[in-house]
Amino acid sequence: MKKYSLLALLSFIHISVMAQQQWSLKECIDYGLKNNRSGVVYENEKLAADAQAKEALADYLPKVSVNGTFDDNLKVQQSIIPAGIFGPEAVKVAFTQRYNTNGVAQLDQTIYDQSLLNGLKANKYNKQQADLNVKKNEETIIYDISNAYYQIYVYREQLRLLKANLETFRRQMDISHLQVQKGVTLQKDLDKVTVNYNNAVSQIRVAESSLTLSENQLKYNMGYPINSVLPLDTASRKEVTAPMMINTSTDAFSAASRTDYQLSEINARLLAIDQQRIKAGAIPKLTGYARYGAVGFGNTLGPAFSDLNSYSAIGLKLSIPLFDFYKRNAQYSQARYKSLNAAENLKLDEGKYQLEYENARTKLIKAQANLENDRRNVELAQSVFKTTDLQYSKGVTDLNDWLNARYAIRDAQNNYLNSLYSFYQARLDLEKAAGTLKTFYSSL
């Protein structure tokens, strides 16, 4: 009994520690890379590529086949020996008996087949393609988890600001309520403050709902159970660390660093190999074989199975394709144009990825500038409100000026939150465009 109580206590402590743990972005990505179900799909594709390589190699390995036949010749076929050979008249002769058995085992070994040799070259690239698909999937997981995490980060900041606004309206509402009771101010002033207080409550509810949706999206991207609590503190921290500014002065970009570009390169090479394989189909093929078998004959079943005559042979077979030129030439032309298009698409991709990088770099530079400007604007609006609040408390200004100052803070905060998310989005887009998402993940 004590043993079970101890286990229950240890489990409770473990769950409590997990509930208190604040998962960082890196920890979320670590979990996602291990548990997102898409990883299983691409790992299976790697295994399929290995199996495909073995299949291609098997065409150049020895092949052994065993065949057996049993014939019941209901009416035995006869052949004619022309007259003059064994006598003046033609003779009908049966060269078999009613029952006939035949068993043969044959080994075939391809000695030379240039088409197969060219096909074997594709094995290396098929494996590289599978590995790159795994890498691309990991980059997608890193991007999606980071994007959802930053959304939660921004909603957390929004909630912090909204709750601070709510507290300000609540205090002012209490003050206005006392002033109405003393007859110092009008009921409409209290109503104005109450309306803003209620609006802040509604905004908090919307932000909390958006936060929950973002948490669910993060769980999905991580492969984390949707109905389980994610040990990620997204709302209780009072301060949000200022995002690190990114150095965008470097313009060193290489399209080859993009996984998509590397996949296109592999595809171009595979198409070139396919073109060579089809062309090699016109080259003669040499195959060696060894055959061993036995035949049996009899007018009854017994001798056909018991009285067997063995035979064996070894030999070479040369296959020379002669009259399939038009079909093969058409196939070669198709493969050639596909290979040419792949080379052209590779050049187009290089320009497209360069454009994506430059656009992402420009957006990030602007997002950094906007974020800094909007953060300073929030501080300035808060400073103006502090002065206006002091003036209002001393009766120097009216409620309209006080509310206008609060509206200015709200607008500045909204701009800041939009800039904050735009900055994180632009940063991720730049990492994606540069092909450095895994480097970004490693540096967290």
What pLDDT, on the 0 to 100 scale, is given for residue 246? 60
Which of the pair, 29 or 55, is modelled with greater confidence?
A: 29
pLDDT in tens, 303-344: 878 888 899 999 999 988 887 778 888 888 999 999 999 999
**Can you tell me the mean pLDDT for 81-104?**
80
Return d(Cα 396, Cα 389) in angstroms, integer.
10
Flag whether 279 is in a domain: yes
Give me the number of domains the chain comprises: 1
Pairing of strands 99-112, 285-298: antiparallel
Across the beta sheet with 63-72, the strand order is 63-72, 99-112, 285-298, 308-319
Flag whether 432 is in a domain: yes
pLDDT in tens, 277-299: 888 888 899 999 999 999 988 88
DSSP code string of 334-362: HHHHHHHHHHHHHHHHHHHHHHHHHHHHH
- CATH number, domain of 404, equals 1.20.1600.10
**Can you tell me the mean pLDDT for 205-229?**
92
Flag whether 331 is in a domain: yes
DSSP for residue 101: E
Flag whether 99 is in a domain: no
Count of other CB atoms within 10 angstroms of residue 385: 21
pLDDT in tens, 152-177: 989 989 999 999 999 999 999 888 88
Sign of the CA dihedral with 265 first, then 267, 273, and 279 last? negative
Q: Which residue range(s) make up the domain with 386?
A: 22-60+113-284+320-442
Flag whether 122 is in a domain: yes
pTM exceeds 0.75 for this model: yes
DSSP for residue 255: G
How many percent of the chain have pLDDT more than 70? Answer: 91
What pLDDT, on the 0 to 100 scale, is given for residue 251? 61
Sorted by sequence, the CB contacts under 8 Å of residue 330 that are 6+ apart come out as none
Flag whether 33 is in a domain: yes
Token readout for 197 is 């207080």
pLDDT in tens, 413-423: 999 999 999 99
Q: What CA–CA distances, in Å, run from 216 to 22, 228, 231, 391, 431?
A: 16, 10, 12, 45, 24
Flag whether 41 is in a domain: yes
Flag whether 3 is in a domain: no
Position of tokens 């052949």?
79
